[in-house]
Amino acid sequence: TSDASEWDNNVVEAPAEQSGTYTVYVETAEGETATAAYVEEVTVGAFRDPDETVGERADWGDDGFHAGLAPDQSIVCLQGLSAPTEDLGRLADQFADTFNMRTVNMSWGYVGGLPLGAAAGTFDRIPATIKDIAEAGILTCAAAGNAATPVNGNGSPAVADEAVSVAATGPLDGISGYSSGGIGAVDEDDGGAYMKPDLTAAGGTLTDLANAALAGDADTPEDEQPAIRDYTGKAGTSMASPYATGVSGLVAQAMEEDASDAISLPAPAEAGFGDAMRLKQVLLATATETALTAAPYHRAKTPTYDFGGRDPYEGYGRVNPGPAIDAVTRDISPSSTTSEVVGLNVPEDERAAAGYLDVEPGTYEVSASFSHFAGGDAGATKENPHVDLFVYDAENPADNGEPNVVARAQGLSGSPSASFTTDSGGVYYVVAKLVEVPGVVNGDDVQVHFDLSTSTLQGFVAAGARSDDGDAFTGGQTNKVDISVEASDAVEVRDIVPYEWDVLEEYSEDVNYVERDPFDGKKYVYFNKDAATEAVDASYFAEAPDAADLSNAYTFGPVQVSPDGGETWVQLSGTSDTNVVVGTDTDTDL
């Protein structure tokens, strides 16, 4: 459960001999007959003499050009903290033009976010600088911080709403105990409070640091201590953020070279704010929640299942390089079926399957159908897997690169189905995410096989819109929601409200009734149940939860319409909205 050699990478030294014959045995520890770990590779050989290596940090070693990078790739380093950040903000266009810069990592920061570090976002120069960098088409990935609590996490620059704030995990996706989260955040913009962090990525655990201390004595000259033959463990959100930065670079290259024209990125010198936010959406939309798959590994953190929403500890979840690249490069036909595999044996298994739909105006259905389990631990599974299905508007992310949900469906038995309609056509990401396999967790050798199908539902098109009182509320505050729908046929209309919010039916004349579904965590608000029409304008009032432990970001919508009397509900693009609640009751007893 660690990235350091005492756990995942073990180095065993035999007596120092010029030559000899050795037998290597690999077995479970302490005589156990079974273990959750897997031995992937055993290599045997002599260490190379340090004087014969290239790129050593010694005055006699040969130079290594950008050692550790992929072939023909380069890295630009700005040394320092806030000063070079401001330099980059001032010269961002030149950096993009000269160095083809797409993304920048920032493994530094100080306390930000609500309530303890609010001033860091409003009075500090750095959040505005991050926006300047984004306006040059460069996406910032920043360390969320190591404050060990979500209440004061997300220091600047991660607190900026344009940045990707990255929390840290161990190798099996368990959130590291030191990693910050973020109940709320503010910056220099007038948009109000919002949520952080955005993602998690591998950043190491505290035991990595303990093991690192055994790898060598930093205060003793090398020639006065035994040769350092071990890996050096590192841990921190400062290690998680570079991982996400690398993923964003790979996705950016894929979007420039292999994506559909509608979602492709221009050359770095020609990129702008919208391009950086479209790149950010891909990372967030293809991330996966780990509340259930990594339940045994979360250290002092309690992420919850949020059905694709944002969690205070892990944001949208674990960043996934493979699905993120697939989302922008893998063309899914509007009428096709493909075989998909996701699994728990990370990092070999993918946590999600993704691609994109390029469609004309119309109504479409996407579905997943669980087929079977595979893998050495498949026999330990107890029930069908939980797989959720999402459709995102690829061309139009929500504010500041948030995922723009067009349709979503829960698949508690591995077979979700969702429909959506578009009156203009366009490109949409389709992402199927593994949420849980009862009986097993990450690290177990279990793969989930399912079919992903898409189909065209001819008959009607519809468009909708939503507006409300704001995007940040205190507990007990009322939000007035207005929705409008126009369809080619007569339709019934309903909206989706988070279960924690109360719909004030007595003050909402347009509401026919409210259907409550605590199992799915939703409330369905119906407007014209008995009088289907082609155009609907309706309003209702919803009251925010006031309990402190219900402070969170909540997703309203998308608006759904039914052309067949409620048998089929189709979700409308662009009708979702996220509202942040700080659970403090506004009522005061005097």
What pLDDT is stored for residue 151 in this prediction? 55
SS3 167: strand
376 assigned to some structural domain? yes
What pairs with residue 352 in β-bridges?
433
Residue 103's nearest CA partner among 147, 67, 73 is 73
Q: Are residues 365 and 322 in the same domain?
A: no
Let me know whether 479 and 449 are in one domain: no
**In a shared domain, residues 291 and 306:** yes
Q: What local confidence, expressed as pLDDT, does residue 281 receive? A: 99
pLDDT of residue 467: 95
Do residue 173 and residue 158 come from a single domain?
A: yes
Residue 436: both structure tokens together = 């849980």
Residue 58 belongs to some domain of the structure: no
CATH number for the domain that contains residue 435: 2.60.120.380
- Is residue 17 in some structural domain? no
Do 288 and 392 share a domain, yes or no?
Answer: no
Total domains in the chain come to: 3
pTM: 0.81
Q: What residue numbers bound the domain in which 362 lies? A: 331-459
For residues 219 and 109, state if they share a domain: yes
Question: For residue 30, what are the CA distances in angstroms to 35, 105, 348, 438?
Answer: 11, 42, 27, 29
The answer to whether residues 319 and 363 belong to one domain is no
Helix, strand, or coil here: 180? Answer: coil
- Beta-strand ranges (E) seen in 52-153 are 103-106, 139-143
Q: What is the CATH number of the domain that holds 502?
A: 2.60.40.740
Question: What pLDDT does residue 234 have?
Answer: 76
Indicate whether 91 and 221 sit together in one domain. Answer: yes
* Residue 590 lies inside a defined structural domain of this protein: no
Claim to verify: residue 219 and residue 290 sit in the same structural domain: yes
Query: What is the residue-level pLDDT of the chain in tens, covering all 590 positions?
Result: 444 445 555 666 666 566 677 777 777 777 677 776 677 777 777 666 655 655 555 555 555 555 556 656 678 889 888 899 999 999 999 999 999 999 999 999 876 555 544 444 455 688 899 999 999 999 999 999 888 766 555 678 988 899 999 999 998 999 998 888 766 676 667 666 778 899 999 998 766 555 555 556 767 787 787 766 555 667 889 999 999 999 999 999 999 999 999 999 999 999 999 999 999 999 999 999 999 999 999 978 889 999 999 998 999 999 999 999 999 999 999 999 999 999 999 999 999 999 999 999 999 999 999 999 999 999 999 999 999 999 999 999 999 999 999 999 999 999 999 999 998 899 999 999 999 999 999 999 999 999 999 999 876 889 999 999 998 899 999 999 999 999 999 999 999 999 999 999 999 999 999 999 887 789 999 998 778 899 999 999 999 999 888 888 899 999 999 998 898 899 998 899 989 888 765 444 43
Strand segments (E) across 468-510 = 472-474, 478-498, 502-503
The reported pLDDT for the residue numbered 5 is 45
Q: How high is the pLDDT of residue 65?
A: 55
Last residue of a domain, one of 402, 434, 459: 459
Residue 221 in domain: yes
CATH number for the domain spanning 100: value is: 3.40.50.200
Q: Is residue 472 part of a domain?
A: yes
| Angle (CA) 95 101 105, round 5° | 105
Last residue of a domain, one of 275, 300, 329: 329
